[in-house]
Amino acid sequence: MALPGPGPGPGRAGPEPGHRHAYCPWWCDCRLAPVNRLGDLERAVMDVLWEIDEGLTVRQVSGRLAGRGLAHTTVMTVLDRLAKKGFAGRERDGRAWRYMPAASREAYVAELMLSALSQTGDRSAALARFARSVSDDEAQVLRHTLAALDSGPASADGHRRRRREPR
């Protein structure tokens, strides 16, 4: 993942020729480094966005976090930072912004898992350990998904298998 910012510098990379992002958000397939983890407050805000199928204003997000006793300006700052980091998208609605997740919770968690996997010296051993750690039901989901990916150009849900190079 190249970090968002005004230009190349330490930890930043410009786009490859023909690439659609100036600086790749965490969900981009071409990212150059592992995805960042969300902080506790960022995660709480993203949980609100992931629960709703439509964009929410700062006031609406604040209302759903009322039990946390957060100031409206704090929620506004967190949403702004999430948008700048590429975790949330936003669009104007009159004078307000409406925020929505840039990708699903499942996509974010999958990227965290891949990021953790990239930190091991032995990916095969890490995957084998993971496979031994999941429940029988989870193992069945993995078997079904891998079988669907290997049986044709598209999986059961219509998504094509991404071939990844180890990081």
Is the domain of 53 the same as that of 91?
A: yes
Q: Indicate the pLDDT class of residue 22, thresholds 50, 70 and 90.
A: very low
Residues 94-113 have pLDDT tens digits of 999 999 999 999 999 998 88
Q: Confirm whether 160 is domain-assigned.
A: no
Rounded to two decimals, the pTM is: 0.67
Q: Where are the alpha helices (DSSP H) in 28-71?
A: 40-51, 58-64
pLDDT at position 132 is 92
Asked if residues 27 and 111 have their Cβ atoms less than 8 Å apart, the reply is: yes
Q: Closest by alpha carbon to 89, among 106, 104, 68, 69? A: 104
Which residues does 67 contact at the CB level (< 8 Å), separation at least 6? none
Is the domain of 95 the same as that of 135?
A: no
Structural domain for 63, as ranges: 40-101
- DSSP class of residue 56 equals B
